[in-house]
Structures are given as C-alpha cells and as structure tokens.
Amino acid sequence: MRYITTNDTPTPAIRGIADHSWQVHGLCRGMPAHDIDELFFHAPRNRAAVEEAKSICGACPVKKACFDYALDNEIRQGVWGGLTEAERRPWHRKVAKRLDYSRVKAAFEGRDIHLSDAEREAVTRHAYVRGWSPERLAQTLRLDLDWARDLMRNAAHAVADRDRYWEQADDEAEPVDDGTAEDEEAATPVQVPRQVQTDSLIAALRKAA
C-alpha cells in the first residue's frame, strides 16, 4: 500500500507515487477542464494542441515530477511532463530497469518510493553489506518479510559471486610476451570494471543507512 509522504520543501524531488502535492504548483492548475482535455488529452494529429501543451509544460516548475508521476503510475495517455504518449513510450518500456541513485538514497531515508527492480536490488545489496536484518529491509521497502528474506538471500549470493570473480581475476597472471606470437590475436581476458560510484554518493548512502 502506498501513502502520501511529506517534505518540508514545497516541491520535493522524490515522493511517494500516491503523493499529489506537486500538482498544486503546475501551470495547468486551475485551467478549465475543457481546455485541459483539448490541450493535454488532444485529438490524434492535433499538432497545434500538442505545441501549446508543450509550451505550458516547458515553463512548469514541476515538469519532472509530472513526468515521474506518469511513469510510476503507468499513465500512458495524454501529455505529461512535456512529453506525448508516443514520446514517453520508450521510457515506459525501460522503467523497470531504471537505476536512479537519488531514488535509492531516498528509500534509505524512509521515503515511500516506487523503486524499479534495479533500484530495489541496489537497496538490498547495500543493506546486506551493511548488515541489515530482513526485518529492517522489509520495513524500509514495505515488503512481506518472506520476500525480504528472499531478496537478502539473493543479495548474499550476488555479493559472494562478485567477490569470487574478482579474487580469481586478481590471481590471473599477465601473459609473457616473448616475441614469438606477434601475428597471433591476443587471447587475454578483459576484466569488466566495477561499477563506478562517486565518493559523495557512497558517503550519502552510508549516512542514509
């Protein structure tokens, strides 16, 4: 169950999917219902309506919140966040793979965030390495306890596999070039680099946890 969250700022960047508080700051607020339907839920191929709607969205202070709301709530019709249904379609297709660390950090701070599978995995792995209990993870992500246990178990396997891979990679010796195989294609395996994270991001996640 999702519920409205609060924030001291008038237009918080991260909020729960049921929080409509950002809407009062929209430039379309207070427009007649007929005009809203005509502009933001326009008839097909009505380019004039699309352009006018986009011009309003372009100056709107909560354009990004509007866009996120449409993605999180699977709203595919109309203009949201300055994008038409067709323009948002690619975003809807890949929303399950979205990985936004600002949303991960917000989840650690107790916000009710609609996390993607990738974002939930990031929260779970960080919680595991920090020594969280399944009960604490279940409370943070608002999950069933059995589901939280499964996520923690998967995180443990993933971390173990990652560490095992890097131990093996570090033990591999570089091949010696004796000059006898100049024309042969090099067969040395290439290590996949670890995911790059900034010091500030890591510090923020640790503080949130």
Residue 145 belongs to some domain of the structure: yes
187 pLDDT tier (thresholds 50, 70, 90): very low
Joined tokens for residue 73: 């709530």
Q: How many domains does the chain have?
A: 2
Query: Domain boundary residue among 45, 79, 97?
Result: 97
Chain centre distance of CA 111: 14
Residue 190 belongs to some domain of the structure: no
Chain centre distance of CA 198: 17
Q: What span, in angstroms and rounded, lies between the C-alpha atoms of 184 and 137?
A: 52
8 A C-beta contact, residue 100 and residue 66: no
Query: Domain boundary residue among 79, 97, 115?
Result: 97
Chain centre distance of CA 148: 19
Residue 150 belongs to some domain of the structure: yes
Within this chain, do residues 150 and 202 fall inside the same structural domain, yes or no? Answer: yes
Q: 45-55: per-residue pLDDT in tens?
A: 899 999 999 99
Within this chain, do residues 154 and 55 fall inside the same structural domain, yes or no? Answer: no
Q: 5-29: per-residue pLDDT in tens?
A: 333 433 344 445 556 778 899 999 9
DSSP line for the chain: -------SSSS-SS--TT--GGGGG-TTTT--HHHHHHHHTPPTT-HHHHHHHHHHHHT-TTHHHHHHHHHHTT--SS-BTTB-HHHHHHHHHHGGG---HHHHHHHHTT------HHHHHHHHHHHHHTT--HHHHHHHHT--HHHHHHHHHHHHHHHHHHHHHHHHHHHPPPPP--SS-TTSPP-PPPPPPPPP--HHHHHHHHHH-
Within this chain, do residues 70 and 122 fall inside the same structural domain, yes or no? Answer: no
> What is the reported pTM?
0.51
Q: 152-169: per-residue pLDDT in tens?
A: 999 998 888 877 777 776
Q: What domain range includes position 133?
A: 101-171+198-208
